Each structure stands twice: as structure tokens, then as C-alpha cells.
Amino acid sequence: LMLCYFSSCSSWLPQRVPLQGSHWQSSLLQLRTSLPVRAQPKKKKKVDVRKEQAQKDRMKKKLKKLEKAPPELIPIEDFIAPLKYSESNRVRSLPALSPEESERRVLLLKKWCLFKQKQDEAEKKAIKALVESQQEALKELRLECEELYEAAIRRDEGLFPFERDGPSYTPPLPGYDPPEGKCVDITKVYTQ
Amino acid sequence: DALLGCHRSYRSRPTHGIGKFKYLLPKEAPKTRKGKVQMKEIDTGTEYQYGDVNIQMTSYDLCLVEHFAQYVHRLCNRLSIRVNESYAMPTKTNEVLFMEERGSKMQLDAVLTTHQRVVQIRSLSSTFAPILLEVIQSSQPEGVHLLMKQHTEADFKSRLKSRPELEELLAEMS
């Protein structure tokens, strides 16, 4: 009885829509379109959102921790004496000076002090003279024209930035052909 | 001694709080712990005064640049120009390689260290600025490169260590 029922069912299949493959596929053309599956994708979304939230929180925590630490200055190598100069026990033994030599040195020191004093005084005098002449000129300008005086008092925007190379012992050689080469920067990069 | 030692204050009596005076003094700024590196406010200056000005001296010779920086500092003190800070910038090391005359190999010539010292001054009057410039230029030693410019936040940031992790996180967040 059951067998004949099943056979009748199979013959009753509608010939209009021949089913290909699995019984979930309803259209002939696209393979991907199928009846909406309810269970799986929603679970994926929830887990993703939670994971993303957790990641964001972790990152925020890390950022807070890093931001809490104050920024540090780069250590300056000039002020750190290399170890090899402090470890060794070598002491320099200076020869004894004769009285004439020490006398000569003291007199030389005195001459140098005097020379430096004269230099310093000359500089102070020069500065004073400059300031005085400037003030006098400004006074005269004020008497002449008030507008120009105001314009002169204002600060000069074109003054800064000011750059100047130090003087050199000798002028540059004419027609000097420098060898080819390059400069490589090997400064140590400090990171916090 | 016992009379001086006791400081019982009866809250109902009119003598409560007698002897307190700290509330009358002006509030002190919060003490920075161990000299925390915090950027001081940059002064832009008025029309008749320059704000924060950096005098940067660069050279290969360490002693020369240090002595020149000391001289400039003392000069500013003598001329009663306010000096905010006098610090050193980190040293830069350069390797100079040159090509041999016959051959294609680069040969190491020297390792040069560039040192920089900065003297930061404030409220320099506009009439005195050229005089100061003239004096510093006249005593500039050989090989020392002088640069005078306004102080900016970028200048301050260049003294601090770089934080790649923080920057990476900030880039990821935004």
C-alpha cells in the first residue's frame, strides 16, 4: 500500500517546474538565490558586533594608557660622558714648572685679562653709543613727523627668521673641484 | 610650651579658625612632578615687542658652540633681556662618504657630529632687536651658523621623543 502511494506521488510531480539539484532551489537561472535561511546569518552579525565593540574598547584602553604617560625629551648625547673615560685609572703626571715659567704664565694671564676687559668695555661702549644715537634719531623723527615715528617704532616682520653663516678663515678656493660623495644621517632615533 | 602646643578650635566660639592665613595668600600653580615636560605658553608679542624668539647656534665644534651660547646668554642677562630657556637640541651624526678617484667604491671619510644650542628670549623690543643682532653677528665665531626665529610648537615638539604606537592607534581610531 505504501509503495503504490509513493509511486503515485512521484508521478504527480508537476511537469511545469522541473527541479534541478536540491529541493531548496526554486529558480532555474540563478544558483545563488534560495529561500531565506533564518538561523545562521543573524548569529554571525551579533558575534561580529560584539567582537568589534570589544576590539574598540581594548584600543581605547590602550590609547588612554599611552596618553597618560607624559612625553619625554630626547636625551642629549653631548652631556653623557662615554664610559671608557670614567673606567680607566690612568692619571697624567705633569712635569714640575720652573719659577720663570710660572712667572711668565701668570704675567701672560694678566695680560689676557686686561685685553679681554678692554674688549668687553669697548663692546659696552659701542652698545651704549648705538642705543643713544637710535634714541636721538627717533626723537628727531618724532619732531619731524608723527606717522613715520609710529611706523619706525613698530616691529619688523621681515627680521625673523634671520640666518647667517659664521665667517671663515680663508675665502673659498676658485675653481675647486670637490670629490663626489654623500652624507648619510646616522642619528639614533629614540622612541617612547 | 603646653599652651602654645594645643590648637583645639571650638567651632562654636568666635575664635574658631584663628591663626589661619593660607586662605588669604594667592593660589599657587600646581607643582609639576619631577619637572614634567609641559609646553610653556608661547608668547606671540605685541606690535612693539617680539614674542618668544629662538637664537639657534649650530656647529660641528662642541666647545665653540657651547661657549658662544654662554656668551649670548650672559649678554642677554647684562642687557636685561628676559631669557626663558637655554637648552641643547639633540646631536645629529653624519657619515661623510666620498667616491674614490679610481674605483666605484664609496670610502668613509669622517663621522661628523652637529651640535645645536638654543637660547630662548622674550619681550625683545622692536627698536633694540637690530642692535642685539648686530652685536651677536660681530662676535660670531668661525664655523658657527646662527639662526634667529620665532618660537613655534613644532620647535618644541622636535625636542620630544617620537611615539609611533600612539600615532598608529590614533590613525586606526579615526
- pLDDT tens track for A67-78: 888 888 888 888
In the prediction, which pLDDT does A60 show? 85
Question: For the residues B113-119, what does the mean pLDDT come to?
Answer: 94
Q: Is the pTM of this model over 0.80?
A: no
Rg (chain B; Cα; Å): 26
Task: Indicate yes or no: CB of B161 within 8 angstroms of CB of A73.
Answer: yes
Lowest mean pLDDT among A23-37, A67-81, B101-115: A23-37
In the predicted structure, residue A25 carries a pLDDT above the cut 60: no
Q: What is the complex's ipTM, to 2 decimals?
A: 0.71
In the predicted structure, residue A4 carries a pLDDT above the cut 50: no
Cell of A121: 668695555
Min Cα–Cα distance to chain A from B26, Å: 28
Which residue of B62, B124, B131, B161 is the best one to mutate when testing the A interface, meaning the one whose CB has the most A CBs within 10 A? B161
Task: Indicate yes or no: CB of B159 within 8 angstroms of CB of A161.
Answer: no
Lowest mean pLDDT among B35-49, B75-89, B95-109: B35-49
Which residue of A55, A156, A165 is the best one to mutate when testing the B interface, meaning the one whose CB has the most B CBs within 10 A? A165
* Integer Cα distance of A80 and A152 in angstroms: 47
- pLDDT tens track for A94-143: 888 899 999 999 999 999 999 999 999 999 999 999 999 999 999 999 99
Q: Which residues of A touch B47 (CB under 8 A)?
A: 154-155
Q: Which residues of B touch A164 (CB under 8 A)?
A: 137, 140, 145-146
CB of A49 less than 8 A from some CB of B: no
CB of A18 less than 8 A from some CB of B: no
Q: Which residues of B touch A165 (CB under 8 A)?
A: 145-146
Residues, chain A: 192
- The DSSP annotation for A87-154 comes to H------PPPPPHHHHHHHHHHHHHHHHHHHHHHHHHHHHHHHHHHHHHHHHHHHHHH-HHHHHHHHS
For residue B17, give every residue at least 6 positions away whose Cβ sits within 8 Å of its Cβ, in sequence order, or none: B9
Facing residue for A154 by CB, picked from B48, B98, B137? B48
In the prediction, which pLDDT does A159 show? 83
- pLDDT tens track for B132-153: 999 999 999 998 999 998 888 8
In the prediction, which pLDDT does A112 show? 97
Band of pLDDT at residue A38, cut at 50, 70 and 90:
low
In the prediction, which pLDDT does A121 show? 96
Question: For the residues B23-50, what does the mean pLDDT come to?
Answer: 74
Higher pLDDT: A74 or A85? It is A74
